[in-house]
Amino acid sequence: MRPFDTVVVVDWSAGKRAGPTPQKDAIWLGITREGGSLEPRYCRSRRDAEQALELLISQETVAGRRVLCTFDFPFGYPTGFTRHVTGSDDPFVLWDWFEAQITDAEDGSNNRYDVAENLNQMFDGIGPFWGKSHEDSWPDLPYRKAGISFDLFAEKRSCEGLSKAASSCFQMAFPPTVGGQVMMGLPTLNRLRRMTGACVWPFETWHDADVVFAEIWPGVIEKAVKSRLAQDGAEQIRDRVQVQLLADALARLPVSRLAEHMTDVPPIAREEGWIFGAGISDELNALAVAVSSVRNDCFALPQGVHWTPVDEALTMLRERLLPVTTTETVPLAQATGRIAAVDVTAMRANPPLPNTAVDGYGFAGGCGDGTHRWPLMKERAAAGDVPITVPHGMAIRVLTGAAVPEGVDTVILQEDVTVEEGHITFHGSLKQGSNVRRAGEDVQAGDVVLASGRIVTPADLALLAATGVSHVSVRKPLRVGVLSTGDELVEAGEPTTSGQIYDANRPMLLAMLARLNHQAVDLGRAPDDRDGLRAKLDAAAGQVDAIITSGGASAGDEDHVSALLEEAGAMGIWRIAMKPGRPLALGLWREVPVFGLPGNPVAAMVCALVFARPALAQLAGAEWAVPQGFDVPAAFEKRKKAGRREYLRARIREGRVEVFASEGSGRISGLSWAEGLVELSEPAQDIRAGDLVRFIPFGSFGL
Ligand code: AMP
Ligand code: MG
C-alpha cells in the first residue's frame, strides 16, 4: 500500500462558534506532513473547519501527497438504525438524510435537538435519542436515558465495545455528547467527501484512494497526552496537544501495520463504521510517547567497541535524534535564522509575467541581417505598468523590469538603435526573445522555495517575498542549558583563592548557542558533588530541551556528570577516536538529552562544534548540516597517530593554513587566535608543508 504523506486529525465540536483566542472544546486540526508536524489549526466554527479542510485536502492532492483524514465522531449507527430511518442499509443514504435535515448557522446555532426529536417520533416507545440542553423543551426527546429499551438495535456499535470509548450515538447531551457531534459532523463529512472525492473507511474500497476518511477516538493516546501536558505546563491546550500527538503517532505507524489494521475489520463495520486504532491503543500510545520525548536508547553505543570513529558517532546521533520543538508562524521580517518547519511553496511564479531585462525597444519577432526600421508607438512600458497591446509591425519604448506588452517578445538595447521622429532604426540581426525574461524562468508557482529544516537566510527572504510568501511556519527555538562543573571554578571578576580558576567554558558555550540561534539558558555552576549536581540537573530538566555541561565527564572520582548519567541509565560514555576530546558523556536526564563535554576549554569547544552543534540542530528541527571546509596547502609540519581524527586550531594567511604553536588543551589563547579548525583525517600520519589539508572556518560551524 502507498503510505500516507499527510495525516490529519480532526477534533470536532457540536458547539457554538468559539472566540478568536484558541481554546479547548473548539475544533482543532492536527496535521503531520511527510513526518513533520505542522502548527495545529484552530477553527472557530464548523464552517471554518469545513473550508480549512477542503483547502488543505485539495492543496495536498495537488502536490501529489496522499491524505489520511481522521475525525473523532462515529461515521455510523448501530446495525438496524439506518434501515429504520431511510429504508436502506447504506450508511451514505443516512449521511444524505442528515445533510438534508440539519441546519447550522454561522454562529453555530443549529437544530440538532429538533432532528433528534423527529427521529424519536419514527420509533415506538421512548427514545432511542435522549439528553437535551433544556429539560422542558422537545417533549419527544427524553432528558434521561431511563426507560429506553434499545430492542430494535443496540445502544452502542460493535467497535465501541472494543475501545474504551463508552459513548453512544444516541446520547445528545452531557459529556461525552457524541450524539450531537455525529449529527453536526456527518453533513460536513458528506460535503467534504463529495468535494474532495475522498474514500470513507471502512465503507468503501480505500486501498488506492488519494484521500481516505476514517473515524478515530483520540482517547487511545491518553497516556501520551497526559505526559506531554505534564511536561508543557498549564498554558497548553489539551485538544491542541492531543490532535498533534495523534497525527504524529498515526504518521509514524509503519505502513504495513496501518494496512493490516485497516483491513482487519468485521463485516458489521460496513454499516456501523469502525474506530481506527481501536485495537492498537498501546502501539499508538508508544508512538505518541516516542514523538514527545527523545528515544531512550539514543545515546547507547554498540557493545564491545572501544574507540568509535567520529563519523560513526555522528551517524548515530543523526539517526537517533528527532526534533523536539513545536512550531509557530512568523512574518518574513522575523524569519531569518529560524528553522523552516515545513516545505514552503511559491504562491506565484518569478517573474510573474515576461519582462524586459534592459532599457530599449520591444517588438515582435527576431530580425535577420541588414537595416531595420520600426515605426514607434508614442506609449511606453515601464516597470509596474499594466501591459498594453502593441499592434503588429510596431515597436514600443520599454524600460527595465516592465512587463512586456502584448504582441512583444523581443527587445533591442537602446544603445543599439537610432531614434528618429516616429520610428527607430538599427542594423544587424537580433534573435527572437532577446533581452526578455520568460515568465517563471526563475521559479514556477508551486515550486518549493524553502525546504523544511532549512535555516532561513536573508537571501531566502528575497525568494520568499518575490514568490508572494509573507509568513512562514518555523520551529520555536530549542532551549539549551549550559552548566559548568568543578569545585575549582569561580566567576570572572569574583575573588579567588589559590587553586581556583575562572569559569571560561560557560560564557563561550552560551555565546556559541546564541550564535546558533538556540535559546541559551545559563544554568550556572555546580560543585563536584553528586547531590548538588543532581539538584541542578533536576531543576534544569523542567525548563530546557537539552543541557550542555562541561567538566566531570570522564570516569574519574570527581567525574560526577558521567556518574550521574550512568546512574540514570540510558547513557553512553563515548570514547571517540578523536583529539582533542577525552570521553564525552552523553545521556538523558529526565528525558532531556545531556551533552557532557570535557572540561578543558579547547576540548570543550571542539567537541561542542563537532558533536553538540549538529545534534542540537537536529533536536531543533534543522536539517543535518555538515560543516563545509576546503583544502588549503599547509604552512606547518606534523606527525600524528593513524586511526584517530585530529582537529587543530588554525587560520589562513597568504593562501596557506597555519596552526597554533601549541596543541595544549588548556591553551585558551589559541582558541581566540584561531579562525577555524584544520581537520586531519584518520589515516593521515605525516603532514608536510605544502600538503593539502582540510580547513573548516568557524563560519562553517555557524559561528
Ligand atoms: P575535567 O574534565 O572536569 O576533569 O576538567 C579538565 C580540566 O579543565 C581541568 O583542568 C579543569 O580545571 C578545567 N576546566 C573544567 N571546567 C572548566 C571551565 N568551565 N573553565 C575553564 N577550565 C575548566
Ligand atoms: Mg572537573
C-alpha cell, 45: 466554527
Cα angle value 365/371/376 (rounded, 5°):
60
Min mean pLDDT across 254-258, 335-339, 545-549 is at: 254-258
pLDDT tens column, 493-532: 999 998 999 999 999 999 999 999 999 999 999 999 999 9
What residue's CA is closest to ligand 1, atom 6?
A: 599
pLDDT on residue 585: 85
Q: Helix 281-292 crosses helix 222-232 at what angle (to 10 degrees)?
A: 20
Q: Residue 282: which pLDDT band, with cuts at 50, 70 and 90?
A: confident
pLDDT tens column, 106-144: 899 999 999 999 999 999 999 999 999 999 999 999 999
pLDDT tens column, 226-277: 888 877 666 678 898 899 899 989 988 888 888 888 988 899 999 999 999 8
pLDDT at 85 over 50: yes
In DSSP terms, 395 is beta-bridged to 376
Cβ–ligand 1 distance for 196 under 6 Å, the answer no
Cα angle value 239/226/237 (rounded, 5°):
30
Strands 630-633 and 692-697: antiparallel
Of all atoms in ligand 1, which is nearest to the CA of residue 554? 2
Give Dmax over CA atoms of the chain in angstroms.
101
pTM: 0.60
pLDDT on residue 592: 87
Strands 6-11 and 67-71: parallel
Strands 395-398 and 360-363: antiparallel
DSSP 8-state code for residue 608: I
Q: Residue 360: which pLDDT band, with cuts at 50, 70 and 90?
A: very high
Cα angle value 692/698/703 (rounded, 5°):
165
pLDDT on residue 283: 86
Q: Residue 598: is the preceding peptide bond cis (ω within 30°)?
A: no
Instruction: Kindly list the strands in the beta sheet with 360-363, ordered across the sheet, starting from the edge strand earlier in the chain.
Output: 410-413, 360-363, 395-398, 371-381, 423-427, 418-420
Mean pLDDT (whole number) for 383-407:
95
187 burial type by CB count under 10 A (0-12 exposed, 13-18 middle, 19+ buried): buried
Min mean pLDDT across 236-240, 285-289, 471-475, 656-660 is at: 285-289
pLDDT at 45 over 80: yes
Q: Residue 482: which pLDDT band, with cuts at 50, 70 and 90?
A: very high
User: Over the chain, what is the mean pLDDT?
Assistant: 91
Cα angle value 559/561/563 (rounded, 5°):
70
Ligand at shortest distance from the CA of 585: 1
CB atoms within 10 A of CB 604: 29
DSSP 8-state code for residue 361: E
Q: Which amino acid is at 32?
A: T
- Residue 437: in which H helix or E strand, if any? strand 436-437
pLDDT at 151 over 80: yes
Task: Tell me the percentage of the chain whose pLDDT exceeds 70.
Answer: 95
Residue found by looking up cell 501591459 in the block: 387
Instruction: Mark the residues whose beta carbon lies below 5 A from ion ligand 2.
Output: 486, 551-552, 599
Show Cβ contacts of residue 420 under 8 Å, excluding neighbours closer than 6 positions. Answer: none
Please choose from 485, 487, 489 the residue to mutate so as to test ligand 1's pocket, defined by most ligand atoms within 8 A of CB: 489
Question: In this structure, are residues 11 and 28 in contact, taking their beta carbons and an 8 Å threshold?
Answer: yes
pLDDT at 359 over 60: yes
CB atoms within 10 A of CB 585: 27
What residue's CA is closest to ligand 1, atom 17?
A: 599
Ligand at shortest distance from the CA of 598: 1
pLDDT at 386 over 80: yes
Residue found by looking up cell 563535554 in the block: 597
User: Cα-flanking dihedrals φ and ψ of residue 83, to 5°?
Assistant: -60, -40
Mean pLDDT (whole number) for 371-397:
95
Half-sphere exposure of 307 (CA within 13 A, CB side): 11
Q: Residue 475: which pLDDT band, with cuts at 50, 70 and 90?
A: very high
Q: Residue 76: which pLDDT band, with cuts at 50, 70 and 90?
A: very high
Question: In this structure, are residues 245 and 222 in contact, taking their beta carbons and an 8 Å threshold?
Answer: no
Give the SS3 label for residue 59: helix
Q: Residue 202: is the preceding peptide bond cis (ω within 30°)?
A: yes
In DSSP terms, 83 is beta-bridged to none
Of all atoms in ligand 1, which is nearest to the CA of residue 485? 16
Q: Residue 569: which pLDDT band, with cuts at 50, 70 and 90?
A: low
Cβ–ligand 1 distance for 580 under 6 Å, the answer no
pLDDT at 292 over 60: no
Q: Output the CA–CA distances (angstroms, integers) from residue 459 to 276, 332, 450, in the order listed.
A: 45, 11, 11
Cα–Cα distance for residue pair 354/104, rounded to 1 Å: 47
Q: Residue 484: which pLDDT band, with cuts at 50, 70 and 90?
A: very high
C-alpha cell, 2: 502507498
Mean pLDDT (whole number) for 31-58:
86
Cα–Cα distance for residue pair 176/195, rounded to 1 Å: 30
Cα–Cα distance for residue pair 556/570, rounded to 1 Å: 20
Q: Output the CA–CA distances (angstroms, integers) from residue 359 to 350, 383, 407, 435, 573, in the order listed.
A: 20, 11, 18, 9, 66
Give the SS3 label for residue 562: helix
Cβ–ligand 1 distance for 550 under 6 Å, the answer yes
Cα–Cα distance for residue pair 323/620, rounded to 1 Å: 5
pLDDT on residue 304: 47
The rounded Å distance from CA 662 to ligand 2 centre is 22
pLDDT at 582 over 80: no
Question: In this structure, are residues 79 and 153 in contact, taking their beta carbons and an 8 Å threshold?
Answer: yes
Of all atoms in ligand 1, which is nearest to the CA of residue 598? 2
pLDDT on residue 166: 64
pLDDT at 678 over 60: yes
Domains of the chain listed by start with CATH number: 6-73+195-290 (3.30.420), 81-184 (no CATH), 327-345+447-475 (3.90.105.10), 355-437 (2.170.190.11), 479-620 (3.40.980.10), 630-701 (2.40.340.10)
Cβ–ligand 1 distance for 488 under 6 Å, the answer yes
Please choose from 600, 602, 668 the residue to mutate so as to test ligand 1's pocket, defined by most ligand atoms within 8 A of CB: 600
The rounded Å distance from CA 609 to ligand 1 centre is 18
pLDDT on residue 327: 87
pLDDT on residue 68: 97
pLDDT at 572 over 70: no
* Residue predicted with more confidence, 586 or 216: 216
Q: What sections of 35-171 are H helices per DSSP?
A: 46-62, 81-86, 91-101, 112-121, 158-162
Cβ–ligand 1 distance for 486 under 6 Å, the answer yes
The rounded Å distance from CA 503 to ligand 2 centre is 11
- Residue 226: in which H helix or E strand, if any? helix 222-232
pLDDT on residue 303: 46
The rounded Å distance from CA 693 to ligand 1 centre is 30
The rounded Å distance from CA 618 to ligand 2 centre is 28
What residue's CA is closest to ligand 1, atom 3?
A: 551
pLDDT on residue 553: 86
pLDDT at 160 over 90: no
Show Cβ contacts of residue 436 under 8 Å, excluding neighbours closer than 6 positions. Answer: 354, 355, 356, 357, 362, 404, 408, 409, 410, 411
